[in-house]
A and B are shown apart, each in its own frame.
Chain A
Amino acid sequence: MTPLGALFYLLAAVLLGAAVLAATRRNPVHAVCCAVAVFLSAGGLMAVLGAPLPGVLMAVVYAGAIMVLFLFIIMLLGLTAGDGPLPTGRLVVPATLAAATLVALFALIGADPTGARLLPAAMAAPAAVGRVLFDTYWLAVEAVSILLFAALAAALLLGRGRSGGRAQPTGGPAA
């Protein structure tokens, strides 16, 4: 096994272990820490596979921004660990769905004759990734960003409550 191969399996093991821990921790802050480890090792995996740009974006966006937001909400609401054992009953449906998706994904890769071929090692330069994203697939990228924007606007609308009045801004000069 090459050193990079060893690194790949090490990172993959860390990723899987941290993912299991993130799903089973009763303490929300511990779960967030495990999720951060998941995203960092996923970023590392991408870098090992020859795509440093998506890897580092994984660290900036998911580990560095989105999970900080999770932590912020947990701290703001003062959420504490739940009592007793893990409610495994609730996990059955999502776990089945995730397993089915995984099986379907492997089946699709297996059905595609090119899926089994070993690709030569390659290094994706940041500019090449950018060209694929914003040139080849620009329509999909724009569609996703409009979707995200719509979700943001909807969240704002829902968050303002049904009374129709302006929500009280937090802080303000009087606060």
Chain B
Amino acid sequence: MDMLLGVVVMLVKMAVVLGVALGLAAYMILLERKLLGRFQVRYGPNRVGYFGLLQPLADGLKMLLKEDIIPDGVDRRIFLVAPAVVAGTALAAFAVVPFGDGLTLFGHRVPQVVVDSNVGLLLVLALSSLAVYGLALGAWTSDNKYSLLGGIRGAAQMISYELALGLSLVPVVMHARSLSLSDIVAAQAGLPFALLEPVAFVIFIIGSLAETKRVPFDLPEAENELQAGFHTEYSGMRFALFFVGEYVNMVLLGAVTAIFFLGGWHGPFLPPIVWLALKVLAVPVFLIWTRASLPRLRYDQLMALGWKVLIPLALLNILVTGALLAAGV
């Protein structure tokens, strides 16, 4: 009986997490289009439903009904699977993201996380590094030089910035003394790590901008030189899956930033889940604002920033944190 109950609870949790993540991602697209419209002094989508609120549904339906074109010369199996890798890895990472301290329902303690893994932080990093395959393989198999160039750029960019991203999280682990996401939030009951480790926070934000391939780091799909980069040859729902992946990633990024640096659901006055939602949404809004404000970097600038600035800075930051912790400050 208890085992059956466990399975039911797990299924419900998975459904809730998937529903919330996909729903947020769909409305993230609307939010981005609305905000970009405002930043450029226009209205943005406002025809489908009140305030354009049904726009994501209309877009989704349109994408599903479009023809799924598979060009000649592509490696069929890889071509079909690549978009799913991008979307799937982003969604899978939500499994280790906690949403609260846990609830007590009908006398049973229910943790508000699908899997409370003691290596949760590394799992998030692993899944984000596996997402590169969707991009690189999709680009390679498209049999198109623009796609290939986009894929090569994407692979190089993501390998480079993953290092800075991973290193920027080391001080967080040093303070929290755990790789579990729940423990990391618990360690920030007093001061959020963004204030304790401002350098790591900035490196993490820049690194994750590059990991999500958004402006100013959107070289893999630089429209004015590569058409659409790695997803040039995709159409219909497979094309949309790359975007599902991108927007789910933005929400995921908001969630992990909130958990690693902004204190998770801790905050005064408001209920914990409201604090978490505010923090999770603040990050995508920041990303959209950045997209509206900055031009695209040149490729050599991107590589120089990653290897010559962020990685040495992150290593130095680890040394300083270690020294301070050892000195007992």
Contact = CB atoms under 8 A, between A and B. Distances in A.
Contacts of B298: 173
Interface string A25-67: 0010100010010000000000000001100110110011100
Contacts of A173: 298, 300
Nearest to A43: B126
Given A52-B117, A52-B119, A75-B136, A68 B75 contact: no
A68 B119 contact: no
B86 interface: no
A72 B155 contact: yes
Interface residues of A, number: 27
Interface bin, chain B: 20 to 34
Contacts of A21: none
**A interface: dominant SS:** helix
Q: Is the interface of B mostly helix, strand, loop or mixed?
A: helix
Nearest to A174: B300
Nearest to B81: A33
Contacts of B122: 53, 56-57, 60
Interface string A104-138: 00000000000000000000011100000000000
A71 interface: yes
A84 interface: no
B16 interface: no
A67 to B, nearest CB: 8
B180 to A, nearest CB: 9
B299 to A, nearest CB: 6
12 contacts: A33-B137, A36-B133, A52-B117, A52-B119, A53-B119, A59-B129, A60-B122, A64-B130, A65-B159, A71-B137, A75-B152, A76-B152
Interface of B: 75, 78, 117-119, 122-123, 125-126, 129-130, 132-133, 136-137, 139-141, 148, 151-152, 155-156, 158-159, 162, 166, 177-179, 298-300, 303
Interface of A: 27, 29, 33, 36, 52-53, 56-57, 59-60, 63-65, 68-69, 71-72, 74-76, 125-127, 171-173, 175
Query: 6 shortest A-B CB distances, which residue pairs?
Result: A64-B129, A171-B300, A59-B126, A72-B155, A56-B122, A60-B126
